[in-house]
Amino acid sequence: MVVARNNPRERIDETSKAIVEQLQADGRRSYAAIGQAVGLSEAAVRQRVQKLVDTGVMQIVAVTDPMQLGFARQAMVCIGVTGDVEEIAARLSEIDEVDYLVVTAGSWDILAEVVVEDDAHLLRLVNHHIRTIPGVTKTESFLYLKLVKQTYNWGAR
């Protein structure tokens, strides 16, 4: 899977956007095939992909099914904080079970998606790891019952 990241420091040209879109369609597509699609040599595609990764514009990762790996519970934990929200988010990002973390505007300060083995694991995580971080004032957990849609192919507009 390829996730495009918005990096305001670096604007990418149309050719690089086309490369991102090629990889979003198939993250295992060869550089030669991408080169044919976008009009570049294999070496030029390789260099551009490396630059896109190095600059944080995108990352190339494998997406797994947590259930197939023994993680039966996914949840979104909403977190209210006082103090420096970025400092608390940095602490939360160190927790292995957290796979997605955002600072938000609204009723909750931080949203943390977690993947755990079962409900007991979720309880230990929230009670002993998240709520013990100084500045965390409240949490609310939303258990995922069914994954209906998950996509990363929003393109490189």
Over residues 12-35, the pLDDT tens digits come to 899 999 999 999 888 899 999 999
* Predicted confidence (pLDDT) per residue in 61-106, tens digit: 877 777 777 767 999 999 999 999 999 999 999 999 999 999 999 9
Phi, psi of 144 (to 5 degrees): -80, 120
Question: Which amino acid appears at position 23 of this protein?
Answer: L
Q: Which structure tokens are listed for 48? A: 């551009």
The rounded percent of the chain whose pLDDT value lies above 70 is 89
The rounded percent of the chain whose pLDDT value lies above 90 is 69
DSSP structure class, residue 129: I
* Predicted confidence (pLDDT) per residue in 127-145, tens digit: 999 999 999 999 999 999 8
pLDDT score, position 156 = 67
Give me the count of residues in the chain.
157
Long-range contacts: 119-128, Cβ < 8 Å, 24+? 119/73, 121/73, 121/97, 122/73, 122/75, 125/95, 125/97, 126/77
Burial 45-54 (b: 16+ CB within 10 A, else e): beebbeebee
- What value does the mean pLDDT take over residues 112-135? 96
Model pTM above 0.85: no
pLDDT score, position 147 = 81
- Crossing angle between the packed helical segments 31-38 and 14-25, to the nearest 10 degrees: 130
